[in-house]
Each structure stands twice: as C-alpha cells, then as structure tokens.
C-alpha cells in the first residue's frame, strides 16, 4: 500500500486576497449546468478553471493498451480564467465620490453599531448580550439594501453559533467589541472572544461587508469544533439558491438529520452545495433585482487542500443560509491552521455575479494576522515535464502555517506563485487531484525561489494490458462519478451501483462503479482474456481516493487470493454520502503469480474488507480512482 502525499490547500494572499475572476468549475451543479454558469446561486470557479478529469468519449478500454482514446476536451473550462491562484495584482478601487456617498458613517447605541456604507447598504452589529431572538454579541443583525431588509432578524448572521459560544472558557459577557472610523473612507468593527478575533470592515461607496477572522486555537465548545461564518438571509427575498441544497421540497429524511429526499426520489442536502475549493470564488442567492454573495478571499489559513469540499448553502423555508467555512471536520485530511487572517466578504449586487474585489487597503486597518506583500515571497518554475495534455496541472505549496496553489502552463509546465508567507514548504504537482511530483522549497521575504525543472511520475505512464479509469485522483469518469458530489447514492437519478461484470474490451468506464460499499455492491468482477504467452507474474493496481470505516480492497484472481492490506489513513467522518470523494489518495499493488492465470477468460474479483462495521450506504466503502493489470 502506498500513501500518496495529501492534497494541499490553495490560497490567495492576504495582500490582494480577492483578486479573482469567474471561471468554470467541474460540472457539479445540481441542475446540470456548468458550475460558474451565470445562473442564480451557482458557484463560480476561482483562479484557474479547476482541474478535473478529461472528457474521454465512451471510455472503452482495450486489452492491448488498457487505455482510452480521450477527446481533447477539458472539463471545468467554462468562463474566464486567471493565470495564478496565488496573488494577481489588480487596480485599487477608485477614490469614492464624497458627494454621492455622504451618508457613509458609523453610529452607536447601547445595543448595536450601525454602518452606512454610502452605497445603499446599511448593516448593524449587535453590541449587547443575547437578545430574546437569539442574536448574540458580535452578530450581524440587520442588512438593509436599498431600503429592504435581507437579514432574518429572528436570528444572527454569525461565527459558528455566536462569538459567546466559541470556547468553553468564554461566555457572552466575555465578548469584547470595538468600533472605529479609521479614516474618511473606512470603518472597522472588532469582535474578540478568547483566542478568536473577527473583523467587520466597510469601504465608503461599496455595498459590501468585508470581513476577516483570525484565531490562535480551535473552538472547543460542544459540536463547535470548526470555524465558519453563516449568513441567515430571508428566503422569501432571496429564493434562488443552489438547487442541490434547496430543502423546500423535502418529504423524508434518508440519512442522519441532514440528507433528505423529495417525493420524486431526488435527494437534497446542505452538503450537496459543495464545490472543490479551487473551483469557486463566490456562492450566493438572488431575488428580484438583487443578489447576495459570499466572496471567498484569503484562503491561506484554511485546511483540506485545493480540492477540499465543504458545504456552502442551505435553503430553508424562511432562511437562505450561505456558509463560508474556514476549517471543518467533515472528510478533513489535515490539521487546522492557526494565526492566519482569513478574509472574505458579503457583497450585494443587482443580481449579477460579484465583481473582482480589491482588499489592498486591509494593510492600513491594523488587522491581527495581516502579512504585508513586502513581507512575502514568490515561488516559480520554468518547466514541468511529462504532462498529459488532457489534464490541467496544479502546483500547490503547503506547510503547517499556510497553503497556496497556482496553475501550471499546459504546455511548458511553467508556474509562478506570489505572495507566499516565508517558510519551508512542500511543493506538490497535481494531475487533476493526484500528486505526481513533490519536493521541498524555501520561501524568503521579498525573494523569488526558482525551482529547477520538475519531472512528474504518473502511474498512467506504466504500460498496462488493461486499465479502467485513469490515474488522476478522481472517480469522475466511472459510473455515477459525475453525480456523486451533488446527490446521495440512493438518488433516483443514479444508475445502478451493481452493473454486473466488467468485461475488458467491451465494457466502458461507466460500467465500473465509482464507489463500492460492503453492503451494496461488494465483489465487483472484472473478466479479461489472456493468451498462453501472457501467463506471467502480473501486477494489479487499485487506487482509492478515500475510504470509509477502514475499507480496503482484497482481490481474488480465479482461485488465487491476496492478503488483506493494512488499514489506510483516511478521514473518520462520513464522506461518500455527503458529496465528497476527497480523502488521502492510496495506491494498492498486488503481485499475482503466473500459476493463478489461465489461457482464455480470467476473473478478477475486488472485495472491500475491514474490521469495522456499518449498514447500507454507511457500511464500509471506498471511492475508486483506477484499476489496471500489467506485466
């Protein structure tokens, strides 16, 4: 068993954190439209279109090469792109016109701070103790845009369940608030609770609520061991959110208390609003001539990797909930990062997608955790060799403090990542979501680290008699792999998870299940034909992108059986049923003796085994990357 290096998180730097452009995602929109398409509530991709599995036609395998003949098309290429996912310099916002923004200002009473942005948006932050309607100190309690209230005023828009419910040693009376108009054009409100500080910021003439969150320790209240900012807007005024997380048509609960079905058998969950981090920069909902968007900014303090998926939305009867997650335990693959300022914003528009946002002025706001651009460095490389032209490649940087990504040029492999906090990093090159090269780099303040040419080691380069899928860290090309991120495996739109024998040379990739469960479709068989000259010691490789409850594959070939591999290192939470296949890519290699093979038809049986137990869709399970047979 080989553990591939873990996926590393990507970031925009704090200095120019929100310099993003809309671009296409990986096709995970629940209504069948491409992610990033200009439809209400769709999440647009961030900086470099998002690498995903190539479109590969029928995907039929051939016994002689074991590979497909892919159509030269890359999924996730909708919309505009930017060259870098690190720092892309943009022009500073123009100086506001004082005559048209004269209402800009901060007012205070015993209960709230009120900020008028001078752009039609007035918002309030609660100062006092919990009110009877569950609004807490530090909550955003009102968002009035062009005279209309969009906040559900019976609740608060807040960090977790409120800043007074973050740490066991901090109560509502320990939350400290401060507000100041920093200069003629900027207002800062600071909310501190124990080791966490959250900022609300306003820029004259912009209908935006800028924010930043920094913390020195993880929240430890019961059921609150994560950091998220949740917006509780009014569904009646912002009804058009992501369809996969719209709860209004639910008729039954099918898993835990967070996955539901409609009368037609389609499934819905807040988890199915997820996107790979690198594939979105805004999530939102729209109404009549209005849009409210959470715009992702500085991601360097987040955890999980550029391909980490977390919930973004939940549409309820009264509340349209938009969620920005800094760190989250569901299917998490790495430790949380501390002491880094995480920046993001709430943006009101006329219903159109949010424009690029300049946050260079954050450096003058006295924010904890802010690192100036002059104190950062750059990593660049002239070439990466061995690239597959059907895939996009990502270069990621990661250490215990911060994490970044940038896109590699599809031809030369050249890349550059600016705005990196100084330190020692692991540099990973990803073919889609699979690490194919890794090395150490050191970044210095104000300097540029130039990386020597990098050669990838791609499992696909090994000749195989046959191969199902491709080695890219994703099950997308396999059966139901195009649906698993935005619906439950029991959804009526899914094809059968038990398609029968996969026949090499006849079956297509879509005839092999993207996921396997011990209770649902265990014992998947692959039949293939060998000649007398091919009765040689052989190798079977099986790649998993994640597994649940310690599941790992054990194989039989005709009458021969492998031993059971050691238990893998994978997230302990649900994964496959909550819309993610992203765990720790793991490669299993089995040596099959020549004596096990026969002339004519041979049968490989793949079974999941583990010492753990579970039932149905929550039985031990795994997501498949690829399977191949070589000599």
Neighbours of 444 (CB within 10 A): 13
Q: Six-digit token pair at 52?
A: 């995903």
Q: What pLDDT score was predicted for residue 133? A: 65
b/e burial code for range 144-161 (CB count within 10 A of at least 16 → b): bbeeeebbbbebbbbbbb
CA distance 185 to 117: 9
pLDDT tens, residue by residue, 483-514: 999 999 999 999 999 999 999 999 999 999 99
Q: What pLDDT score was predicted for residue 128? A: 82
Burial group, residue 50, by CB count within 10 angstroms (0-12, 13-18, 19+)? buried
Domains in the chain (CATH in brackets) are 1-20+372-457 (2.60.40.1120), 105-364 (2.70.98.10), 461-630 (2.60.120.260)
Q: What pLDDT score was predicted for residue 134? A: 81
Dihedral angle of Cα 478, 57, 585, 517, to the nearest 10 degrees: 0
Q: What angle do CA 477, 280, 146 make, to 5 degrees?
A: 145
CA distance 227 to 367: 18
Say which residues have a Cβ less than 8 Å from residue 316's Cβ, sequence separation at least 6.
235, 247, 248
Q: Which of 38, 39, 34 is nearest to 49 (CA)?
A: 34
Q: For the chain, which ranges sit under pLDDT 50?
A: 2-85
Q: What pLDDT score was predicted for residue 95? A: 75
Q: What pLDDT score was predicted for residue 89? A: 64
Neighbours of 451 (CB within 10 A): 16
Q: How far is CA 197 from CA 126, 145, 178, 368, in A?
A: 15, 26, 11, 8
């Amino acid at each position: 068993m080989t553990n591939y290096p873990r996926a590393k998180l990507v970031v925009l730097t704090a200095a120019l954190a929100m310099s993003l452009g809309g671009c296409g995602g990986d096709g995970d929109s629940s209504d069948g439209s491409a992610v990033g398409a200009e439809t209400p509530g769709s999440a647009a991709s961030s900086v470099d279109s998002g690498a995903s599995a190539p479109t590969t036609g029928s995907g039929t395998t051939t016994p002689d090469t074991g590979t497909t003949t892919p159509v030269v098309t890359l999924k996730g290429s909708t919309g505009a792109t930017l060259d870098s996912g690190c720092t892309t310099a943009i022009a500073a916002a123009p100086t506001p016109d004082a005559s048209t923004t004269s209402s800009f200002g901060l007012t205070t009473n015993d209960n709230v701070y009120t900020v008028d942005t001078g752009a039609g948006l007035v918002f309030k932050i609660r100062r006092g103790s919990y009110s009877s309607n569950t609004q807490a100190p530090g909550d955003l309690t009102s968002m009035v845009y062009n005279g209309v209230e969009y906040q559900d005023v019976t609740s608060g828009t807040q960090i977790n369940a409120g800043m007074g419910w973050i740490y066991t040693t901090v109560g509502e009376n320990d939350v400290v608030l401060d507000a100041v108009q920093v200069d003629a054009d900027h207002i800062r409100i600071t909310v501190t609770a124990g080791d966490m500080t959250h900022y609300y910021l306003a820029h004259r003439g912009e209908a935006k609520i800028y924010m930043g969150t920094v913390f020195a320790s993880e929240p430890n209240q019961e059921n609150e061991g994560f950091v998220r900012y949740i917006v509780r807007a009014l569904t009646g005024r912002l009804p058009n959110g992501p369809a996969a997380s719209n709860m209004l048509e639910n008729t039954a609960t099918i898993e835990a208390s967070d996955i539901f079905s409609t009368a037609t058998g389609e499934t819905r969950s807040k988890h199915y609003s997820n996107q790979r981090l690198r594939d979105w920069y805004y999530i939102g909902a729209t109404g009549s001539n209005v849009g409210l968007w959470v715009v992702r900014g500085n991601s360097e303090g987040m955890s999980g990797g550029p391909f980490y998926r977390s919930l973004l939305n939940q549409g309820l009867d009264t509340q349209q909930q938009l969620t920005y997650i800094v760190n989250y335990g569901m299917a998490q693959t790495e430790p949380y990062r501390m002491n880094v300022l995480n920046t993001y914003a709430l943006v009101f528009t006329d219903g159109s997608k949010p424009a690029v946002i300049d946050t260079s002025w954050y450096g003058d706001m006295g924010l904890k955790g802010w690192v100036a651009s002059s104190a950062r460095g750059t990593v660049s490389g002239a070439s990466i060799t061995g690239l597959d032209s059907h895939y996009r490649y990502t270069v990621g940087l990661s250490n215990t403090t911060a994490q970044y990504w940038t896109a590699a040029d599809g031809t030369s492999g050249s890349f550059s990542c600016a705005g990196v906090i100084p330190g020692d990093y692991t540099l990973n090159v990803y073919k889609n979501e699979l690490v194919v090269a890794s090395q150490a780099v050191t970044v210095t303040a104000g300097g540029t680290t130039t990386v020597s040419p990098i050669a990838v080691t791609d499992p696909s380069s090994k000749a195989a008699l046959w191969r199902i899928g491709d080695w890219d860290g994703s099950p997308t090309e396999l059966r139901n792999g195009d649906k698993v991120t935005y619906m439950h495996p029991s959804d009526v739109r899914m094809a059968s998870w038990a398609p029968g024998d996969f026949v090499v040379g006849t079956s297509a990739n879509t005839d092999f299940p993207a996921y396997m469960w011990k209770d649902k479709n265990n014992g998947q068989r692959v039949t293939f034909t060998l000649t007398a000259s091919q009765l040689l010691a052989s190798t079977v490789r099986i790649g998993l992108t994640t597994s649940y409850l310690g599941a790992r594959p054990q194989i039989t070939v005709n009458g021969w059986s492998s031993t059971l591999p050691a238990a893998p290192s994978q997230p302990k939470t649900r994964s496959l049923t909550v819309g993610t296949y992203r765990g720790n890519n793991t490669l299993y290699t089995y040596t099959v003796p020549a004596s096990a093979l026969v002339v004519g038809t041979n049968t490989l049986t793949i079974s999941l085994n583990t010492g753990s137990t579970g039932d149905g869709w929550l039985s031990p399970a795994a997501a498949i990357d690829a399977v191949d047979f070589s000599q």
